[in-house]
Amino acid sequence: MKARIKIMLKSGVLDPQGAAIKQALNNIGFESVTGVRQGKVIELEVDGPNKSEVRSEIESMCNKMLANTVIENFEIEVF
């Protein structure tokens, strides 16, 4: 089963990488860009009996290893 996890910094957390991208875009002429946040996306291939079990396993992966839940939020999609 295919799944996708999107991991973003929580909204109050400073995102220097996003700020750098915004600055660089503004510098090369894209002045309409007023905000940028960068995150990670992880696409997984997981063996499992059904969507809900796969989802709960991925939730456990995120909490144990993939995301730093102190500063990051994650969203899971299972296809």
The answer to whether 26 contacts a copy of itself (rule: CB under 8 A) is no
- Long-range contacts: 54-59, Cβ < 8 Å, 24+? 54/1, 54/3, 54/78, 55/3, 58/3, 58/5
- Please state the closest distance from residue 32 (CB atom) to a copy of itself, in A: 4
Token pair 């996306």 in the structure block, residue: 41
Instruction: Pick the closer one to a copy of itself by CB: 3 or 70.
Output: 3
Q: Which of 64, 65, 58, 62 is nearest to 73 (CA)?
A: 62
Residues 41-70 that bind a copy of itself (CB under 8 A): 41-48, 54, 57, 60-61, 64-66
Q: Which residues bind a copy of itself (CB under 8 A)?
A: 6, 8, 18, 21, 24-25, 28, 30, 32-48, 54, 57, 60-61, 64-66
